[in-house]
Amino acid sequence: MNVPAQLRYSSDHEWVRIEGNRATIGITDYAQDALGDVVYVQLPSVGTNVVAGASFSEVESTKSVSDVYAPVSGTVSAVNEALTSTPEQLNSDPYGTGWVCVIEMSDPAEADTLLDAAAYLELIGA
């Protein structure tokens, strides 16, 4: 299971790349593997205010539909429009081209509550 050390993780299986007040969000390798082949991604709208722990996106796979939860609070400043036509990027490159959105964090200290790679590996039993 791929769990990059430089990222932070939520217990809901989202990854977070922190750059200043910006948090790039996606779903983990573990999550995409559990979902199976992703066929549709409902992206949030730019400008949407999100609250940590609340659903802000949906991923539909051949197995199920799953919510994506905001790991931090703030405003969506960018979305990965490529997922509209190629949702399978969540499967093939979850930590690269498969990112979902960027959130301008309203409280960067929230990121301190996220799991590091070792804690996330423990959570998933890897």
- Report the CATH number that the domain containing residue 68 is assigned in CATH: 2.40.50.100
**27-67 pLDDT, tens digit each:** 999 999 999 999 999 999 999 999 999 999 999 999 899 99
Q: Is residue 115 part of a domain?
A: no
> How many domains does the chain contain in total?
1
Residue 22, helix vs strand vs coil: strand
Please report the pLDDT score of residue 77 as a whole number.
Answer: 98
Please report the pLDDT score of residue 63 as a whole number.
Answer: 87
Q: Is residue 14 part of a domain?
A: yes
Query: What does pTM read for this prediction?
Result: 0.94
Indicate the pLDDT class of residue 87, thresholds 50, 70 and 90. very high
Contacts of 21 (CB under 8 A, 6+ apart): 74, 104, 105, 108
Q: Is residue 120 part of a domain?
A: no
Domain hosting 18: range is 8-107
Is the pLDDT at 83 greater than 90? The verdict is yes
Contact present, 119 and 27 (Cβ < 8 Å): no
